[in-house]
Structure 1
Amino acid sequence: MKSKEENLLNEQGETKVLDSSCWQFMQATIENLSQQQIDQAQLQKLSPAALAYLGDAVYELYVRMYYLLPPQRSESYHRLVVAQVRAETQALHLRSLTPHLRHSELEIVRRGRNATTGRPKRLDPEIYQQASSLETLIGYLYLTDQPRLAELLQRLQLEK
């Protein structure tokens, strides 16, 4: 990460500049949310669905924080966030992160994919599995390795 600013390119090729204090704030928020410590034995008892449940909340919070600045109307915030938390977008994010994942993280993704059972009727089952896999990974990293979670979240190409 650059010391003074972080440059991100959205899909239109426009650069979004976030200063390091914004990234530090997002990372600190993610780290500070976890007040309850969980040991390895407890972690092993959690189902991929439980990890995805947590990951969904952490991911949405990250996306909401990302769009917080510059200030906008509530409707604009909502539109931007909903576009990013859709299963189709989450599946794209998982595919973009896959080359950067470690072996252990790929195993969590696999567990999340294989644990998905139901799905909304409007979705292709593969898209739903990929979105659930991303949420499972985010939930797992939130509980086990928050600096790594922040690193991966910064790789996401969120649209403006």
Structure 2
Amino acid sequence: MNINLPPLPQPLPDQLLQQLSPGALAYLGDAVYELYIRANYLIPPKRLHLYHSLVVAQVRAETQARHLRSLAPHFTPAETEIVRRGRNAATGRPKRLSVSIYQQATGLETLIGYLYLKDPERLTYLFAQLEIEKDTSVVDYTGL
């Protein structure tokens, strides 16, 4: 079940958007992606530690890279270019990750940040294409 987030901001004019680096777009995209993932785990209600565990599994670079690969067939040429710019701008990486995984995750975050500011409707469409894993062993704490 995908949850619809509140309306997104009005798109930024191209002139302002072009002033933002891929790193800045990825910074924003990381936050937007995590908010989307968190919203998807709200129902059914769970204990806070379980929310955290579920979200951490989805916001890991490995999962983001997998999501990027699953969304790639849906990308326009312009979106593919934004992802490429984000991948190429990725510098440094956590020791536990390969360079490729880190670059893919950063590319996804860059695209999310870009679309959040440029075309929120398109971002909503791409988010709807994601297959967010649900933990089937989750206990429903609705009565608590």
TM-score scaled by length of structure 1: 0.80
Q: Which runs of 5+ in 2 are unaligned?
A: 135-144
Higher relative contact order (CA 8 A, sep 6+): 2
Q: How far is the alpha carbon of 1:38 from its aligned partner?
A: 2.7
Aligned residues: 134
1:44 aligned to which of 18, 22, 25 = 18
Q: How far is the alpha carbon of 1:45 from its aligned partner?
A: 1.0
- Residue 142 (1) aligns with residue 142 (2): no
Q: Identity percentage over the alignment? A: 63
1:63 aligned to which of 37, 42, 63 = 37
- Residue 130 (1) aligns with residue 104 (2): yes
Q: Which runs of 4+ in 1 moved over 6 A?
A: none
Write the deviation string for residues 2-38 of structure 1: whole angstroms up to 9, x where unpaired: xxxxxxxxxxxxxxxx3xxx64x42xx151xx26x63
CA RMSD in angstroms comes to 1.3
Distance 1:38 1:146 in 2: 10
Q: Which runs of 5+ in 1 are unaligned?
A: 1-17
Instruction: Name 1:120's counterpart in structure 2.
Output: 94
TM-score scaled by length of structure 2: 0.89
Amino acid at match of 2:80: L
Identify, as 1 or 2, the structure richer in strand: 1
